Every structure is written in structure tokens, then in C-alpha cells.
Structure 1
Amino acid sequence: MDNIQNKIEDASKKVADTVESATNKVEETILKAKDALPEVTPTPPGLKPQSSVSDLKARLEWGEPALTILDVRDRDTFNNGHIMGAMPMPLEELVDRAKTSLQPTRDIYVYGESDEQTAQAASQMRSAGFQCVSELKGGFPAWKAVGGPTEGVAESTNPPGPEGYNVLSEVKNEANKPKANM
């Protein structure tokens, strides 16, 4: 009887060892398979030395608050209209004001009156030690063209409708308007 009992215990131990070994192999295979999978989680666009307004808009739509938008145009132009949330820092005051109010590692998007002014502002910021500065190509007019939110005196006199920030809805609305006979 003891001999049968010992054989049963030995067989049970072998089965347990085999199950444990198989489980370890399955876990190892799963981990290898996970490592081999491409990253499928979408991510917002990162900061580039030069960014399109679409890049910035996509990043804002992702709800990424860790960035600052600087408008280096003169104060009157800024007050008339600017990208919603942009900070006014005219070019002649830019570096001094930025040093007192922004971290040097902060993601900063800069735009001016022209791409040349924007490039000049970005260059000044980089020379002053700001590491993450992007030139926003096309500036305010390009931002308005993609339907980005704006604010300012001139902008408030003609606010968009409820679909005003949705470019696709605006295109559909235009396409559905009756055509005038010529």
C-alpha cells in the first residue's frame, strides 16, 4: 500500500512540475509577444523646431497643457486678435520677460508677424537657454485658416457659430449652400 502511495505522490509531483514548467513557458512567450507588438497607443505630435499650426492644434486637442504659446507681434496687433491662450511678449521684450516667467525646459511655440520674425524670436529664445522652442509656421493667419480658436477685439466682433471650430462642419456647410445662378 505504501508503494502505491509513493507512486501516486511521485506522479503528482511530476504533473505539478510539468504544469509549472508549461506555465512558465507560456508566460515567457506572452512577454516576448508583447515586446514584439508595435506601439498602438496614439500619441500627440511632439515638439519640433518648426511646427505647422495643425501640429499645435492637434496637440491642444489632445489636452496637453504643458506648453506655452508666445505672440511676439506688437501689443496693438495682439489685442486685435491672437491664438486663444497665447501670451503677448513683443520681440523687443521677449527674452527678458521669458526669463522671468517661463522655465527653460518648457515647450514653447512662438509666432510673429511673419515667418522671418518668428524665426528671429525662436533664435533669441534658444540663445537665451530655452531648450524646447518651436517656430509656428504661418502664424495667426494660418491658425485662423485651420479653424483654431482665437480671441481679441476684432475676433469678438465676428465670433464663429457653434460649429465654427470644426473645419469639417464648415466645409460641409459651404458645400450645402445653394449655388447662385450666373
Structure 2
Amino acid sequence: MRRIACVSFVMILAALGGCAAVQSDRSVLAAARSANYTEDYIYDYWIQTASGKNTGVGGSNVSEFSRGGTSGQRCCARMPGVGQTIRVVWEVGGRQDDRSKWKTYTRDVDVKGVMPKPNYKLQSYLIVRFFPDHEVETELLAGDGDLGPENLRIDRLFFGRPRVMRQKGE
């Protein structure tokens, strides 16, 4: 099962190649992946610039940690790069709750990680990590870097490995 999850993640990475390009304004084209270290079901999340403009990067249906803690992804939109501030907005609630019962949270965070090399054409990924007490962090993984399971910056949740609770800042 782990091998299937690992192969699936690598195939997704390969299929989405070609979306990333670094601009002189330090923005990057990226897709988001999420790791949920809470028991909140996250219906939807999206990335905005620090001024509140939607970037198009985000995800939905992020499982609780006890149910795998990951989600799908949306491909490719331009967003601020490493060292810049972004706003993460997310909606949580019970799986069967009516939308009127969902709660929305917002946090401004700095993008951590490494920018891809100039003119490199493989997909970059913004990992959005959700933590208890409605904390969040983001990390950009450059498409020209190591995106396999041996990279300790990539959460084990994405490879079907045993769920290991990660702490903010690790």
C-alpha cells in the first residue's frame, strides 16, 4: 500500500511538470498540497496575497489526521515566493455539518523553503501544514529539488507512511 501511495505521488509530480517558473518579482507558479495535524475536517483552503488578493492556489477536503491528514491539490497559479507573506484562509467543520456551521480561520504567514532555479520548468509545491489551535505554516518545495520520500521536508503523510505527528517549525 505504501508503494502505491509513493508511486501515485511521484506520478502526480511528473504529470504536473511544466507549471513552475520563477519571475523577477519573486513569485512562483505552484500547486498546493496539505498536511493536517489536527482532528478538524478542512472543507476548503485558499492562498491570498498579504493584501487579500486570491492567488488561485489552494485545496479542499483535507482529512483529519486520524483519517490520513491529506487532500488533493489544485494545479498551478502564481503566488508570492519564499520570504514573502501570504494569507491562508480555511474553513472547518464536522463532515456532516451544514455550511452555516463551518468556521473560517485566517493567518498571515511567511513562505519558507527554497525557490526553484531560474528558468527551471518542473512543478513547485506549496505544502500547507495545519496544526492544533488553528496554527498553520507553509513551505515551498522547488520542482528542481528532491521530491521523493527520502526528502525529510516532505511530510510522511503524502507517502502512506505511518502517520507521524509533526510540530510547527519542524
TM-score, structure 2 as length reference: 0.23
More helix by share: 1
Structure exhibiting the larger radius of gyration computed from Cα positions: 1
Tell me: higher relative CO, structure 1 or 2? Use CA pairs within 8 A at least 6 residues apart: 2
